[in-house]
Amino acid sequence: NALGLMDNSKRTFAPRPIERRRFTYTTGSAAAIISGLNEFVEQHKELPIPGRNYKGDPTEMLLGNISSSYEFPKPDESNSLEADRERLPICELLTQWWESRPQTMRDPEGWELIRASLAVTAAGGRDRTKESLNEVWKKAEPLYGVIPAAKPVTSLLLAWLTRLFPPRNSLIDFYLDGAETVLSRIVNLESKEKQGGRAADPALTYLYAARRHRHSNASLWSDEQVTRLWHLMRWADQPTPSSKVRSRIASLEDIADAFRVGAATEHDIYDQILTQHDTQHSSFNDLKNVSSRKNLPIFERTPGLREIAEKCRQRIVEVELRRGDTETAASKPARSLRYSGGRDVLLKLVAALGKDTFARGYSYYGQTNRSDVFSHLIRATFPGEAETPETFGPAAKAAGISEKRLIETAVYAPQWAKHVEKALNWEGFTEAIWWLHAHTKDNSWSVEAEIKEAWTAEIADKTPLSAEDLTEGAVDVSWFQRLHKTLGETRWKLLDEAAKYASSAGGHKRAQLFADAMLGRIEITDLLGRVEEKRHQDSLRALGLLPLPTGGKAREADLLQRYQAMQSFLRTSKQFGAQRQESEKLATRIGMENLARTAGYADPNRLQWAMESASVADLKEGAVTQTVGEVSVSLAINGLGLPEMTVMKKGKTLANIPPAVKKEPEVAALVARRTDITRQVSRMRESLESAMCRGDHFSGAELASLLDHPILRPLLRNLVFIEAEGSEPVLGYPIGDGLLEDCDTARHSVDTKTALRIAHPFDLLHTGAWERWQKDCFLRERIQPFKQVFRELYVLTEAEKVEGTKSQRYAGHQVNPKQALALFGKRGWVGGGDYDYESDGPRKTFHEDGFTVSVGFMGWTLTPADVEGSTIEEVRFTKKGDWRPVALESVPPRVFSEAMRDLDLVVGVAHVGGVDPEASQSTVEMRAALVREAMGLLKIENVRFQKSHAIIDGALSTYNVHLGSAVVHRMPGGYLCIVPVHSQHRGRLFLPFVDDDPRTAEVVSKVLLLARDREIQDPTILEQILAVR
């Protein structure tokens, strides 16, 4: 009886439907249309139709192969008719067929198309119906008559014809007459199924059609027609008051419509909202929908519905408040309430909960014990407009709520924090509550989305950090310092004791650790011990939060110690798998961000460069020398930014440090320092490459200060910078004094406030002068700290633009799973292994740009244990945190290129064929450019290029070198075996970047060797060439 709110006798009980004897369900014309469309499909079965597959991707299928609605567009009445016509691929062909149909496909009254469509729908429903309902169908089948079996796509074509050529007469009474006639034939719709309901789909085809028409064309319906529809739904649902099995055909929207015209009663709505229909549908979704605090459209359309929903809410809370440990009829509905009440309800619930604790952890819908239900209802309370913080204190005191319980309540339901602050008279309390929630590690709460939304909005107003950064462990230091100063230590301690109610499990401990670190309650040695011995990631994050000493030198030494600890943690992470590496990399990134905020740096990169600068400050002016007896050992930074050690004895240079001298503490420290600086250089190269990939900005003044850095200076002077803004941006190498020098040696001045970034190859491409920049690299013998000017660039192909949301440029390539996973891991990709249940393959997130890329493999995952190679299927991009693929054209070109470059590396190195496949087109183009510039520099003119090959017209023969695999052939002739010795130093061969790229060096070397084949002295190579002349 809906918790006592419903009087069953006051519900609507409809009269039995009357058979409309003149109504005709199926005519010869309708049957002819079905047969005619079947023939139409057969005639055009090989016609290609653009559509979408089950993933929503654009695809193309033959008309005869289409078997489901997602493969063929459906009519959309929310569009205009003209817009819908544009969506139908065969609109002209289908229109021509319809307009030229014979008279045998036409009914006098014009209903033939609707009859055909509904007959096909009814027949399809019959095929899906349970055996127990066959008796129902047998009573209705004679009305429909015998109709031809329709092809799968025929029903879709019928829907389109109905949309394009609607009947001239009103459909409403036609649908209602059809529904009433078929229901009049079925005396008893009772099903033998206990939980199957009584809705026999084929018998109710016309009733469902009437409902759909009402939902999409409400303005065309009269009150009388709405009443008639409601009576038919009620009779099909419950023919008599004694009928026990209910079909529940009507939705809350249907009942609200009927209530609005006076056909349904308040008690029909109570039945819909509060009656547990059956065990399969016990979630009370309608109650959930109408118990929102928001002003729902259905309330606007249905006067009186809001008041009914309010009565339901009040009754549920009233019944639950009287309960003991045993579940009541209101317990499950209570778990569905989005809003349970205001101040009075909150205080009654807290008082009734007594000494029981608030429920924490994930709470399932079916859990209806007292603590779970009350805790849910407490979280679902919100202050009303008239319930001000000033009135809360006296009410809480009257309810007998203790100070400790009020604090716990505010942490558990932070929407009441302002009210509790006023009751306690604790300034800063509200800020502290929201800080706790913002810095708690927890994504597994069973908190209503509407409540979470309100909490997220509150937090976003108080900190510039994103919700994701906060969950990952970032800390708003200034916010904490401000609130702690206001609140005071004693009150913070009381709040800290209640912090557990801000999380589902132990997530609050992170916030407590961070607070303790900022308050200086933890020693740096304790945190370092946890990081080194247990690799505790939150301790690493907290390391950046400890207060810094106030003294200059002490501050710098402390800062440097923490920075080095974080870099050591990151470096030693490489011993673990890709998933853990990524997790520890994230912890290091957040720790660095926290340390940067604590130390007052704009971002971790600036902190890193400052720390690296501090550690080599004494090398800025020149070499540092230690002398032991007659031997002097000097450490300096060379032109590439690398540490260089020189050993002298009596004016002569020694190749190595004498063993006895090497053991001396001063010299040993210098040797160790060289190792540290080498690592620093490696970190700086990676940092600068990452800055290019992210598109980081540098002001002119900042770039000038970075050029003063002994290690950064030689690195930066060999990188092309570009103005971050402007239609015709200036590009050039920074040479100091606020100048950029371009590839033509022209100099451009840069203002100190001008925003610059490290140019990406995409920028160089759009200047139209990329080749000139490459030529300049060779002419000046520039060695870049990473591939920039000769970096592989990947742009969208025409096929990818057409495919829309996926790239299949590497589809079909097989890779070695173990090798591929290792390569993906080195490039910052995660997932794709045995235990990755969240995605179809490896994925990488570009945090700054807000995109995630994933690679799909056939066979679900990329498993190292696979005996055969894993086959690449497709590449997709999504917005960060979302699962829906985005159009490739919406992905920033820089992000797309870098993602495809990573994949190209994997395909090239881990390909099961063992060679660099020709699909790696950008790599081939980069190597062709390198060979072309090298040959030009050396004035070699007998090398030309044909797609992925370099053709060399030698003196002894003609050769070709594959630019991907470096395989050499003689033309005509066969394979030439020229084996590279990769362990040797590159010697005099110049490559314009520091990156270790032995295959590129091999290609350039082989082309150079064969271009001067008269100078070849290696007998094994000469023997092969001369043997086949």
pLDDT confidence bin for 984, thresholds 50/70/90: very low
Any domain includes 292: no
Q: What is the amino acid identity at position 678?
A: T
Residue 167's contacts (CB-CB under 8 Å, 6 or more residues apart) are 110, 111, 113, 114, 174
Pull the structure tokens for residue 462.
């108080």
Q: How far apart are CA 841 and CA 854, in angstroms?
A: 6
Paired with 381 in beta bridges are 341
Domain boundary among 282, 302, 317: 282
DSSP at 56: S
106 touches 29 (CB < 8 A): yes
Highest average pLDDT, of 106-110, 311-315, 974-978, comes from 311-315
More reliable by pLDDT, 89 or 683? 89
Please write the tens of the pLDDT for every residue from 404-440: 999 999 999 989 999 999 999 999 999 898 888 888 8
Check whether residue 882 and residue 1018 sit in a common domain.
no
The answer as to whether 989 is a domain residue is yes
Q: Which of 593, 615, 637 is the last residue of a domain?
A: 615
**90, 158: one domain:** yes
Q: What is the token pair recorded at 47?
A: 């016609």
Contact (CB, 8 A) for 932 and 926: no
Q: How many CA atoms lie within 13 A of 178 on its CB side?
A: 26
Burial class (CB in 10 A: 0-12, 13-18, 19+), 408: buried
pLDDT exceeding 90 applies to what percent of the chain?
33
Residues 6+ apart with CB under 8 A from 653: 646, 647
Query: CA angle 516-519-524, nearest 5°?
Result: 70
What percent of the chain lies above the pLDDT cut of 70? Answer: 86
Q: Are residues 259 and 144 in the same domain?
A: yes
| Pairing label, strands 739-741, 48-52 | unpaired
In tens, the pLDDT along 726-762 reads 778 899 999 988 899 999 999 999 888 899 999 999 9
Q: What is the pTM of this model?
A: 0.65
CA distances from 101 to 112, 119, 884 (A): 12, 19, 43
Calculate the alpha carbon distances from 134 to 232, 257, 278, 370 in Å: 21, 32, 23, 45
Structure confidence by residue, pLDDT tens digits, 831-864: 665 444 345 678 888 878 889 899 988 754 555 4
Q: How many domains does the chain have?
A: 7
**Cα three-residue angle 163-164-168, rounded to 5 degrees:** 85
> 928 phi and psi, to 5 degrees?
-60, -40
Angular region, 541: left φ>0, alpha ψ -120 to 50, beta rest: alpha
Query: Which residue range is the domain that position 585 belongs to?
Result: 523-615
Closest CA to 110 of 27, 218, 229, 222: 27
987: pLDDT confidence band, cut at 50, 70 and 90? Answer: very low
Range 781-785 average pLDDT: 89
Do residues 869 and 862 touch, judged by C-beta distance below 8 A? no
More confident residue, 990 or 378: 378
| Cβ atoms within 10 Å, residue 193 | 12
pLDDT reported for residue 199:
42
**CA separation for the pair 668, 648 (Å, rounded):** 16
**Do 968 and 961 meet the contact criterion of CB atoms below 8 Å apart?**
yes
Q: In whole angstroms, what is the distance from residue 248 CA to residue 268 CA? A: 12
Task: Identify whether residues 78 and 218 lie together within a single domain.
Answer: yes
**Contact at 8 Å (CB) between 990 and 1018?**
no
Question: Average pLDDT, stretch 755-781?
Answer: 90
| In a domain? residue 819 | yes
CA nearest to 475, candidates 484, 464, 486, 485: 464
One domain for residues 70 and 165: yes
CA–CA separation, 736 and 790 (whole Å): 24
Q: Quote the pLDDT of residue 197.
A: 40
- Report d(CA 239, CA 183) in Å as an integer: 10
| Distance between CA atoms of residues 531 and 567, nearest Å | 12
What is the pLDDT, as a whole number, of residue 169?
A: 78
Strands 958-962 and 949-953: antiparallel
Least confident of 81-90, 316-325, 463-472, 939-948: 463-472
Please compute the mean of the pLDDT values over residues 339-364 and round it to a whole number: 87
Other CB atoms within a 10 A radius of the CB of residue 503 amount to 22
- What's the pLDDT band for 33 if we cut at 50, 70, 90? very high
Same domain, 862 and 774: no
**Which helix (DSSP H) or strand (DSSP E) does residue 976 occupy?**
strand 975-976
CB 479 within 8 A of CB 470: no
Q: Burial-class residue 797 by CB neighbours within 10 Å (0-12, 13-18, 19+).
A: middle
> Concatenated DSSP letters for 595-625?
HHHHHT-SSHHHHHHHHHHHHTGGGSSS-EE
CB atoms within 10 A of CB 1013: 18
Q: Are residues 510 and 535 in the same domain?
A: no
Tokens read off for 602: 């704009």
Question: Which residue reads 């030009």 in tokens?
Answer: 936
Nearest to 1012, CA basis, from 957, 947, 931, 936: 957
In a domain, 322, yes or no: no
The CATH number given to whatever domain includes residue 812 is: 3.30.1400
Is 395 part of a structural domain of the chain?
no
Tens-place pLDDT, residues 279-290: 444 578 899 989
Answer whether residue 356 shows pLDDT above 70. yes
Claim to verify: residue 701 and residue 713 sit in the same structural domain: yes
The secondary structure of 516-574 as a DSSP string is HHHTT-S-HHHHHHIIIII--HHHHHHHTTSPPPSSHHHHHHHHHHHHHHHHHHHHHGG
* Rounded-to-integer distance, Cα 71 and Cα 153, Å: 9
- Residue 76 to residues 91, 164, 340, Cα–Cα distance (Å): 14, 11, 38
* Domain final residue pick, 730, 748, 779: 779
997 confidence band (pLDDT: 50, 70, 90):
low
489-497 vs 429-438: helix axis angle to the nearest 10?
50
Residue 802 reports pLDDT greater than 70: yes
The pLDDT value recorded for residue 152 is 85
Q: Report the C-alpha gap between 69 and 90 in whole angstroms.
A: 15
The whole-angstrom separation of Cα 847 and Cα 880 is 7
Judge whether 876 and 839 are in contact, CB under 8 Å. Answer: no
Q: Tell me how far apart the alpha carbons of residues 615 and 609 are, in angstroms, rounded to a whole number.
A: 10
Assigned domain for 1009 exists: yes
- On whether both 599 and 628 belong to a single domain, the answer is no
Same domain, 704 and 606: no
Q: Tell me the chain's radius of gyration from C-alpha atoms.
A: 38
Does one domain contain both 43 and 135? yes
| Average model confidence (pLDDT) across the chain | 83
Q: In this structure, what token pair is assigned to residue 4?
A: 């006592």
Q: Is the Cβ–Cβ distance between 1028 and 973 less than 8 Å?
A: yes
Helices assigned H by DSSP within 624-699: 659-662, 665-694
Provide the pLDDT for residue 506. 67
Sign of the alpha-carbon torsion through 127, 128, 131, 135: negative
Q: Tell me the C-alpha distance between 751 and 758, whole Å.
A: 16
Backbone angles phi, psi at 770, to 5 degrees: -60, -45
pLDDT at 971: 73
In a domain, 705, yes or no: yes
Band (397; pLDDT cuts 50, 70, 90): very high
Q: What single-letter amino acid sits at 851?
A: F
Q: Give the end-to-end CA distance of the chain in Å, rounded to a whole number.
A: 101
SS (HEC) of 464-499: CCCHHHHHHCCCCHHHHHHHHHHHCHHHHHHHHHCH
d(CA 437, CA 433): 6
409: number of Cβ within 10 Å? 27
1023 plus 903 within the same structural domain: no
Choice between 198 and 714, residue whose per-residue pLDDT is larger: 714
Residue pair 546/517 in contact by the 8 Å Cβ criterion: yes
The pLDDT confidence band at residue 692, using thresholds 50, 70 and 90, is very high
890-930 per-position pLDDT tens digit: 999 999 999 999 998 888 888 775 544 444 566 778 888 88
**Span 963-981, average pLDDT:** 76
Mean pLDDT calculated for residue range 390-409: 94
Q: Is 37 within a domain?
A: yes
Strands 652-654 and 643-649: antiparallel
Least confident stretch, 301-305, 771-775, 801-805: 801-805
Cα–Cα distances (Å) from 451 to 90, 297, 381, 446, 562, in that order, read: 48, 20, 9, 10, 39
